[in-house]
Structure 1
Amino acid sequence: MSNWTRNTKKIGELATGHELTIPVYRFAGTDSNAPRVYIQANVHGAEVQGNAVIFQLMKQLEKLELQGDITLVPLANPLGINQKSGEFTLGRFDPITGVNWNREYQDLTPSLSDWFEAHKHLPTEQFIAAYRQSLLNSCHQQLDSPWGVTTGRRLALSLQLMAHEADIVLDLHTGPKSCKHLYCPEYTRDAAGLFSIPCVLMMPNEFGGAMDEAAFYPWWQLTDYVVSRGMTMTPAVEAYTLELGSQERIDMQDAADDCEGILAFLANRGVIKADIEPKAMARYSCALADYRKFHSPMGGLVEYLAAPGTPLSAGEPLVRILRPDRFGESEQQQTLCLPEDSIPVLHFASASVYQGTELYKVMTKYTRLS
């Protein structure tokens, strides 16, 4: 049986002065040399399924033998979760600034030439520990700025502090109407076959403000710099975004399946002692640059014809757009197709769209992994 604790972490204050807090669960491992893990869910308000996955994970972790420490944070963004309008949850963007909650994380990579010269004499373990501490120090410096930080930035940096303590970071999300898909750094391609996820987007060494990038990008940058100096190094941290289906839904059985996939990954990485094989399934991947958006060429009412996760040949129907204002004209109903083979991954949640609305995101130039 694993030992665990529950604490709360303050991430801000409301206008009334009431504290905003989030729950933090910690499961203790037995081996200080095993990888440490950080898992969070529900940074976007409507993306609730990750909380069910964390719940299923904690039920299993209680019974497993843990080698590495695991920190789990469900309900990571109480402001987003509580941002409702009627029956809908709107919490994708900070309502104060309009910024996407998952684009507030910071690139804390130091000046690598200066940092490397000051620390290159250290043994590998101390070298890695010193770099990790520099990232944590930068987080604290931003949080303690005499100019203050925005509400969204404070939340992001508070979460980022916990993530930078870990060797493995998993950020659990969902799409609007979506199949499961994984954002995976190119240097950890082997992980694509461990999770119970059929579609994989391979990420380059670039930073765009998301949690996974904030976690892996500084280490990938450091690795490339060290290698450029004629030395050998592999990134000490790996981070992934797991998109676990569609938003505004809880499915406990599906959460149990995703839990099993995460446990297979953690067993492979030596975090838990367990014999868990990855789920057999067809898996496909493409480069992030080949993950394309299809925008509506007109306004109207949309029937989504392509099922997320199902390969689609060029010329097959993608959507049908109805224009009741054009009854009796050739434009009253139109079927749109994609110009090349693709795998639809997600589509817009609403059936009524403006011209220019992002209808689908699709994988192009994809390859079969398994």
Structure 2
Amino acid sequence: MPLTTEEIILDHGFPGTHRAVTVHRFGPARTDAAPRPKAYIQAALHADEIPGLLVAQHLLARLKAADAEGRVRGDIILVPYANPIGLSQAVLGTAIGRFALSSGVNFNRDFPDLAAPVADQVLGRLGPDAAANVALVRRAALAAIAAWETATEADSLRKILMGLAIDADLVLDLHCDSEALIHAYTGTESWPDATDVMADLGCRAVFLALESGGNPFDEACSGLWWRLRNRLTAGLSGGVPPLPAACLAATIELRGRRDVDDALAGTDADALVRVLTRRGLLAGDAGEQPVPACQATPLAGVDRVRAPVAGVVLYTVALGDTVTVGQTVAEVVDPVTGIRHPARARAPGIVWARAEQRYTAAGAIITSIAGDRPLAEEGSGLLTAR
């Protein structure tokens, strides 16, 4: 089936305006009668995180070529820009794509938790066939999204994106950090199943959590499955119907904001093609699976090193360096006194991200380290900038 392209209009826009999401679909849509694998990939939900926008264009070209060669085997949806609201926002020439200017809300938070409405629909209907149970839950999830009555343009966007992704086997949400190595976030229950995806992408850090706080997009898609299972099996013992975690969703951070060029984007698009091939959505040879570049670590173990004072940031370690507890990772120079204040690591691990701005406020995060032991509790706001 050839490529189809659709524009979906957002609700609740201002008079005289409308915004739309462009959706590219390769292969026939999955149905119960034809349960082919489904993948959903979107870019720039945080609309000022640009690398994904370019990667999506490179991936689109590769998918068109695969389609022309008859190699599409699954249902592949590509949303090349996932946030037309954020793409339209700027203040004094600076793009503001992470937060809605109208409300201050992070575009990648507050996606709906569907466990309760889906549980209401499937309670007492699950049986011994795991595949049939998965299909039933997916239908219920799509119905729950369709029934969501939104009141804001941002929630209309969330409804559209969730409606496209909630029944997928694989969901990849392309973002970037400030200055960073390529890294990813995924659910604890998605590991080690996600190992091949992270290895193909070359991720230098992978962070696991069941509840990161705020219900971001990837967690809303994959978390449905373990939240639903926990809800349905609470208080039961034995004879629990099989309900696998049927969606592997991950946020992929494509390095830093300035890592935007055709060479990198082409490399990342090639990696995504290998992922889709290895997962059975494209025909072809994905090659031998690369050795993972890292071990997964708990998101709760991330050490967010904060500036002790306001001032000029001088980094003493580079991205990719491994540091020890107590090691100075940066100095902050007080512009009044000239005193240099050390910022020290609380956890050992690899330095995977830093702030690109070299002037900082006191208490701002300037460096992130992948610690292997929890420093915080799950669900306590493990992600930055709610």
Give the TM bin, normalised by the shorter chain: 0.7 to 0.9
Question: Which residue in 2 is equivalent to 1:108?
Answer: 114
1:134 aligns with 2:144: no
Deviation of the 1:66 alpha carbon: 1.4
Deviation of the 1:177 alpha carbon: 1.4
Deviation of the 1:111 alpha carbon: 5.8
Change (3 A) 1:229 1:307: farther
Identify which range, 11-20 or 172-181, moves more after superposition: 11-20
Residue type at the aligned position of 2:279: R
Change (3 A) 1:206 1:126: farther
Question: Which residue in 2 is equivalent to 1:208?
Answer: 214
Question: Which residue in 1 is equivalent to 2:299?
Answer: 288
Unaligned runs of 5+ in 1: none
Match runs of 1:31-42 below 5 Å: 32-42=34-44
1:264 aligns with 2:263: no
Question: Which residue in 2 is equivalent to 1:233?
Answer: 243
Residue type at the aligned position of 1:218: L
Match runs of 1:246-261 below 5 Å: 246-247=256-257, 249-261=259-271
Match runs of 1:296-311 below 5 Å: 296-311=307-322
Question: Which residue in 2 is equivalent to 1:88?
Answer: 94
Contact residue 178 and residue 245 of structure 1 kept, 8 A: yes
Identify which range, 242-251 or 217-226, moves more after superposition: 217-226
**Secondary structure of 1:19's partner?**
coil
Change (3 A) 1:305 1:80: farther
Question: Which residue in 2 is equivalent to 1:17?
Answer: 16
Aligned match for 1:172, one of 162, 171, 174? 174
Question: Which residue in 2 is equivalent to 1:222?
Answer: 228
Contact residue 35 and residue 270 of structure 1 kept, 8 A: yes
Deviation of the 1:141 alpha carbon: 2.1
Deviation of the 1:279 alpha carbon: 4.2
Deviation of the 1:52 alpha carbon: 1.5
Contact residue 67 and residue 271 of structure 1 kept, 8 A: yes
Question: Which residue in 1 is equivalent to 2:336?
Answer: 325
Contact residue 13 and residue 20 of structure 1 kept, 8 A: no
TM-score of the two chains, using structure 2 as the length reference: 0.84
> CA separation in 1, counterparts of 2:106 and 2:274?
31
1:312 aligns with 2:314: no
RMSD: 2.5
Residue type at the aligned position of 2:6: N
Query: How many aligned residue pairs are there?
Result: 357
> CA separation in 1, counterparts of 2:130 and 2:348?
46
Aligned match for 1:60, one of 50, 59, 62? 62
Identify which range, 99-108 or 290-299, moves more after superposition: 290-299
Q: Deviations over 1:328-347 (max 9, x none)?
A: xxxx2233221432222222
> CA separation in 2, counterparts of 1:140 and 1:112?
12
Deviation of the 1:214 alpha carbon: 0.6
Q: Deviations over 1:266-285 (max 9, x none)?
A: 22221111212344563232
Change (3 A) 1:37 1:228: farther
Deviation of the 1:3 alpha carbon: 2.1
Question: Which residue in 2 is equivalent to 1:191?
Answer: 194
Contact residue 267 and residue 274 of structure 1 kept, 8 A: yes
Deviation of the 1:122 alpha carbon: 7.8
Aligned match for 1:69, one of 63, 70, 75? 75
Q: Deviations over 1:18-54 (max 9, x none)?
A: 1101211011159833211111111112111112212
